[in-house]
């Protein structure tokens, strides 16, 4: 099973990078009580950094994703990148924890570094995964949904042989490959575009792997994909 970045993505953003964590043997039903203090600390840090939801949109990393969305024809005020949406929820005082340990781990990293992050159940993926531009015919049922909502032509998507795994780069994940309590194998992704640096991505990816090992008892492997290294075999 391969995961790759299409040249069409680098034509939009030559500096796009993915930090990948391949997870094996995870216990995604584990007790996360010991993680609570770290979660509260990162929430406090977010609220100190962003006193209001309007302040979130001024962050240079959020601004970078808004530009990225506009580059493939998407209005970032109508469709917010995952890190902006998550950060705004915390600023509003909403609880974002407790979906399951893997999701809690990547949400923590997203908040700490203001980077977009997500994940898929590796056992539900069909064929290979590619980050690419959409043809507009790929099937997609959003997380928690039942209706087919195919992407727009040219939209940035993650896709496998069965359809879309995530629409608008990191806006909305598919229900088919979602992480659940039964997930034991997963592909977790942290994403960057300039001005986010490789050093930041490497630190965030390494910390995500450590969290998953600690709280899910899993074995992990990490890799960074970029224009010079756009594909990896994680079978």
Domain boundaries, the chain: 2-124+182-227
Tokens 């792997």 sit on residue: 209
Q: What pLDDT shows up at residue 98? A: 95
Cα(8)–Cα(5) distance, rounded to whole angstroms? 8
* pLDDT interval class at 30 (50, 70, 90): confident
User: Could you tell me which residues come within 8 angstroms of residue 30 by beta carbon, excluding any fewer than 6 positions away?
Assistant: 101, 215, 216, 217
Contacts with 204 (C-beta within 8 Å, 6 or more apart), sequence order: 19, 109, 112, 113, 115, 117, 190
Mean pLDDT along residues 44-65: 98
The answer, yes or no, to whether residue 148 has pLDDT greater than 90, is yes
Does the bond joining 195 to the residue before it have cis omega, within 30 degrees of 0?
yes
Residue 235: predicted pLDDT: 81
Q: Which helix (H) or strand (E) segment is 130 a member of?
A: strand 129-133
Of the CATH numbers 3.50.40, 1.10.30, 1.10.1060, 3.80.10, which one belongs to the domain with range 2-124+182-227? 3.50.40
Closest by CA to 12, choosing from 132, 113, 177, is: 132
pLDDT of 31 strictly over 90: no
What does pLDDT average to over the chain? 97
What average pLDDT does the segment 8-27 reach? 97
Show Cβ contacts of residue 162 under 8 Å, excluding neighbours closer than 6 positions: 126, 127, 139, 176
Helix axes 60-71, 82-91, angle to 10 degrees: 140
DSSP states along 36-87: HHHHHHHHHHHHHH-SSHHHHTTSHHHHHHHHHHHHTT--TTTS--HHHHHH
Residue 116 · residue 190 · CB < 8 Å: yes
Section 159-165 average pLDDT: 98
Tokens of 235: 């079978």
Of the candidates 91, 55, 79, 105, the one whose C-alpha atom is nearest the C-alpha of residue 170 is 79
pLDDT digits (tens, 9 = 90+) for 192-233: 999 999 999 999 999 999 999 999 999 999 999 999 999 999
pLDDT in tens, 78-106: 999 999 999 999 999 999 999 999 999 99
Pull the structure tokens for residue 85.
Answer: 């949406």
Q: What is the pLDDT of residue 194?
A: 96
Quote the pTM value.
0.97
Q: How far is CA 102 from CA 9, 63, 165, in A?
A: 27, 27, 17
């Amino acid at each position: 099973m391969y995961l790759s970045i299409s040249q069409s993505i680098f034509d939009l953003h030559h500096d796009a990078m993915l930090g990948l964590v391949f997870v094996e043997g995870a216990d995604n039903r584990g007790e996360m009580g010991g993680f609570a203090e770290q979660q509260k600390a990162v929430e406090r840090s977010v609220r100190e950094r962003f006193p209001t939801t309007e302040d979130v949109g001024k962050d240079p990393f959020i601004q970078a994703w808004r530009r990225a969305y506009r580059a493939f024809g998407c209005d970032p005020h109508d469709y917010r990148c995952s890190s902006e949406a998550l950060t705004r929820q915390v600023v509003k005082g909403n609880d974002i924890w407790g979906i399951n340990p893997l999701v809690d781990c990547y949400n923590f990293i997203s908040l700490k570094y203001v980077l977009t992050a997500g994940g898929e159940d590796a056992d539900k993926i069909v064929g290979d995964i590619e980050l690419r531009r959409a043809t507009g015919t790929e099937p997609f049922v959003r997380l928690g949904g039942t209706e087919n909502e195919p992407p727009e032509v040219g939209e940035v998507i993650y896709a496998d042989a069965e359809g879309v795994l995530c629409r608008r780069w990191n806006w909305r994940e598919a229900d088919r490959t979602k992480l659940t309590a039964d997930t034991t194998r997963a592909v977790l992704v942290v994403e960057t575009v300039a001005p986010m640096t490789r050093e930041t991505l490497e630190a965030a990816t390494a910390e995500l792997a450590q969290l998953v090992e600690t709280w899910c008892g899993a074995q992990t492997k990490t890799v960074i994909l970029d224009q010079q290294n756009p594909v990896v075999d994680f079978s």
